[in-house]
Amino acid sequence: MNGPIGAVALVGIGYLIGALPVGVLIGRLVGGVDIRRAGSGRTGATNAMRSLGTRWAAVVFVLDLAKGAVAVLLAMALYQAGPAGSPPLVHAAAGLAAVVGHNWSIFIRFSGGRGVATSAGALLVLAPLTMAVLVPVAAAIVLLTRYVSLASMSAAVLAVPLTVVMLSLGLARAAPVIFGVGAATLIVFAHRDNIVRLRSGTERRWGENERAGSRGRT
């Protein structure tokens, strides 16, 4: 694939890869449940844990992460030529499209997750050194605050300046910075309900039991 048509095709394929509703499919296969009917109604690993338990939630996380990585790797493998400097931008666009697909999947009426794992998978390919820093930072935030949503948003936002530093040191390209800005915007937007609950003190912490109503959903 090459040129604008090839780029658009790969971005479209990236969206379709991201749109695969892994959490919903696994929920129906292993538990006969629709995980969208529990907790936040999202399809990601955090919500899958409420219906399927830790083991299957881990599977959902890994597969959601793989969607972002595969979208970028496929673009890297198939996009052969285009305007000068375009291949890295196409790779980043394909990864970002996978995040959009995950959050607004055409297969489940444009619902989905929050894009954290899928963004992480794409960034793992685009800027692995950035991910090497973000993982322990996110883990530390979870351990200190027990807010998964806060860790997710913090890591997403921090990815941008970190990648800029990597760029200035010659360890990354400009395209991952563009991806980081787009992914951070999508992730924070998807967490807007969590932001409200964090500000009001009603956000559920990691490990807390399910409570009645919408209190503390993540």
Q: pLDDT per residue over 146-169, tens digit each?
A: 999 999 999 999 999 999 999 998
Name the residue with higher pLDDT: 100 or 40.
100
Q: Where do the structural domains in the chain lie, given as residue ranges?
A: 3-200
pLDDT greater than 60 at residue 191:
yes
| 29-86 tens-digit pLDDT | 998 889 998 878 899 998 998 889 999 999 999 999 999 999 999 999 999 776 666 8
> The pTM is what?
0.91
The rounded distance, in Å, linking the Cα atoms of 34 and 59 is 16
Count of Cβ atoms closer than 10 Å to residue 137 Cβ: 15
Site of tokens 């921090």: 158
Can you spell out the DSSP letters for 115-127?
SHHHHHHHHHHH-
Helices (DSSP H) in 36-147: which residue ranges? 45-52, 54-78, 86-103, 116-126, 128-145
More confident residue, 32 or 186: 186
Residue 17 has pLDDT above 50, yes or no: yes
Identify the band that residue 214 occupies on the pLDDT scale cut at 50, 70 and 90.
very low
